[in-house]
Structure 1
C-alpha cells in the first residue's frame, strides 16, 4: 500500500532527528526502526538530499556522507538546523500559551486522553517558562448557549453522530433539521456549530445561542469540512473498479481521493485502484492527470477519455474557424 504525503513528511522529519542521534546507522536498521523497506529509506534520503533552506546551493541543503552511503550506512553531515530545539521569544510563548488554553477549553473534551495529556504537559512547561507573563493572562471562551445544547453538541462531535436541532434564525423562524456536526467555532462575539445541513444540502454555521434543542441521533457523520457539493462519496463493491498506472507527480490522487488500493512502484510511480460511480467524473479525472497516466484498466475507459479530449480540441478548432 502506498502511504499518503503527510505520513511520509512525518517520517522524513523523524529521519533527520534519528540520524542526528544515531550517526552511522545501516539502511536496514533505519528501515526496521521506521517499519518501512530499505528501498523506501533510500528514496527518503534521495528526497532529503535535495531539501534545505532558501538558496538551495549545496551548503543550504541537508547532506549525508557520500562514502558511508555507498557502503549502505547513513551518516548525517548537515541537518540545516532541523535538530535544534525551537527558541521562542516571550511574546511568542505567551501567544502559544493563549492558543493552547483556548484549544483546551474549546475542544479539550473531544480529544483522546493522550492528546489532552500532550496539551496539558505543553501548557505546564510553557507557563513555567514564561513566568509572570503567562500568570497574568486568563483565557476564557464565552459560550452563550443552553448548557444542555453545548453538552449534546460536544457529545455528538465526540461520537461522530448526527444531531437533530430545533433552531431559530435571525428572522425569528423556528425550524427542525438534521445536521452532521464538524466542529465548534468561536468568532466575533458568538460561538457556532459548523455542520452539514441535510435539509439545505450544504455547509452551515449555526449560532449556539439560537439552538433551542439538540438531540444526538444514531446515524454516523458521513461528510467532512470542505465538501460543499453533495454528499461524500463512499465507494462500495457495486461500483466499477478502475486501475490507473500513474507517475509520482500525480500522487495527489492518493492523498485526496478515496482509493481502493495503492501500490508504489520502484521508480516512484503508483498503481492505484479506485471505485467509480460516474463515468463523467472518471473522464474528468483522467483529463486532469493525462500527462502522468501510464496505463488504464479497463482500456475502454482510456478510449472514452481520449475521445472526450479529441472532441474538446475539435470544438476549439471549430470556434477558431
Structure 2
C-alpha cells in the first residue's frame, strides 16, 4: 500500500502496511523506555530523494525555487528555517544529485551567485524522466559470468562494494524479468546462456583492496583532467620527511602493485610518476593556465606527446628491482635459513653443519626487502663481496639512525582511527536510490541479501530503509506520495536487529505512480567510483593471463567496451588510459607450486619464518592466494594449529608439495567463505608501541591494525599498535630504511639506534653518498 499524507506540522505520521506474520514491528507513545524510538531516517537522504521524486513528477513543466520550498516537506518554511538555510540545503542537494548523474536542468537563466535574492521565478528546475538513470542494457550470459568473476576477484575496501553495486545496476534488466523469461531469452540468444551457474567457485587468487577510498577519489578527480588540464597536489616522495607541492599535466594512470599517475611535471619540465597513495589531501584542477601548461597541452593536441605511449613506457620501468648483483654472504647458522631461498642451489656454497657459518652465493635484485633483511640480520650475516650491496645497506641503516634521532613525538593526541568516507552524503544517497531500484526490479529481496550486496551494517540498513520510507513526491496540493516499505519497519534498533533480521523477511518496495516506478525503478547511472571500480576489476581480469580463464577474459573485454560506451566522456577517457598489470611479490617462485597444489587439491609442507623470526615446519591445505598491494599471502587451513592462517610468501623459506595428501574438509569449507585482509592477531598481553610512518609509507600502517592514530600536517601518520613483542617493532624499523620510526617506548627506540650502529660497524667504513639506485630519480622512477 502506498502512503499519502497532507503536509502537516505534527511530524512524520506515516501510513504503512502491516508487517508480515500478522504483527507490526513498531512502537507506541506509551511503550516502555527500552522500546521507545531510537532509529530515525537520514533527513538529508530523504530530502534529496524527495526533491528528485518531486521534480520528476513535475516534468516537463518543472518547479521554481519557491514552489520547491513550499512543496517538499523537508524544505518547509517553519520554525527557525530561514531563506538562507533553504538556499544552502537546496544548492547542496542539487549539486549532489547532479554529481550522481541525475540531470537537474533549469529552464531559464540560473544564477546561484545571487544567494537566492530575487529571481525565484526567472527559471524552473526539471528532471527529464526519459534521461534519468542507466540506458536499458541486456548483457549476454557470458558477460554476466565475467562480471561475477571480476566481483569475486577483489575483496575489501570500498571498491568491492562499488563493484557489487555496479554489477547490480548493470544486470537490473535481467533481474526485472521473471526467471523463466530470463532463461528462455538467454537460451534463444546463446545456446550456452541457459547454463549460467547460480554460484561460481571461488577463484584461486584474490586481489585485496583494488584501491582504497582516497585512491578511488583521486582516480575520479583525474578523470576530469586527464590530458586536458593541469592539476596540483601535495606529494610525499619516498625518503623525504616533508611533503611537497606538485603541478602536473596528467597523461595517464595505471596499476603496478600500487596506483600511479604519469604526468608532465610543470616545475621540472619532465615526465614524472607519482604514487596516488602518497598524495596528501585533494587533487585540485588549475583553472588559470600559464604558458607552461598551454605548451604541454598544445603538444598533446598536435601529437608531439603521445599520452598512452608515455604512460606505458613509464609504468613498464616500475619493476620491483633496482638492479641485479651476484654477492657472497656468510651467515651464522641461526640466520642462514632466512637467506637460503635467495641462494644458488650449490651444496658447496650454501650448506653447512648446524654450528658453522654458512657461505652463500646470492643473485639479488637489491630490492628494499632484501636490503631490509640484511639490515636486520647484521652482524650475524656478513657481506663478503658486493660493493654496491654494502653501500646501499649502509645508506639504509644511516637513514634508520637519522630518523630515530630527528623524529619528534607527535604534538597531537592519538585518537581512534578515522572512519571510512563511504558514508558521505553522495554515497548514502546513491546507495539508497540504488537499493530502491534493486528492490523494485527484483520484486523484493531478503534483508540478508541487502546487507551483503551493499556491504553495510544492520544499523545502516535500518536507517536506509527508514530514509526511503520518508521520501515522497509532493504535488501542488502539498500531498506526499510516499515510497512504501513492506514489512513495516520498527522504530527501535533492538526490534529491527533481534526480530526482523532474525526472520530475514523479503523486503518489498512500492513506488508511487507509473512515472516514478519507471524512473526511480531504473538504476542510477554509474557513479565515478562505481564505473572506475568495475572497469578496473575487468581490466584486472583481462590482465590475469591465466589460460584457464581465457573465455571469461574475452567476455570481460566485451563487457568493458559495453560499459565504456555508457559512462560519461571523461570517465571513458580515463578508462581508455587504464593500465593494469600484476607484479608478482613472489621472490622465491612459490606461487607456481601453490597454484598446482590448488589445482590438484592437495596439501603442502612449508618452512615459515614469522614476524618474531621464529621458524616452524607445518603442513597446510592451500585455499587461496591473496594479493594485497606488493604483498602476496597464502590463505590456508593449517593442520598444526587446526585453524585458518595467512602466510606471507616472502617468509616461506621452503615449500614441498604433498600430492598424496588431499585437502581436508575444513579447507574445503573455508574456501566457501569470503577472503578478508590479513590482520595482525592480538592478545591481552600484547605490547603497545607507538610508530611513526613517514608520508611515503603512511598507507602501510593499515597492515598493523592501528589502535589509535594521528595524521601530521606533512602527511606522516603516527599510530599505536599492539604487538606480540617489542622486537617486532625494532625489526620493522630496521627493515623500513627510515620510513618507520619507533617513538615509544623510548627503550625500543634506543634499541633501534644501537642495532643500526652495530650494523654500520659490521659493514666497515665507506662513503655511501656516491652510490645511487639505478634510475633512482630519473625518468621512470617515482620522484
**Normalising to structure 1: TM-score of the pair?**
0.43
TM-score with structure 2 length normalisation?
A: 0.21
Q: Which has the higher contact order (CA 8 A, sep 6+)?
A: 2
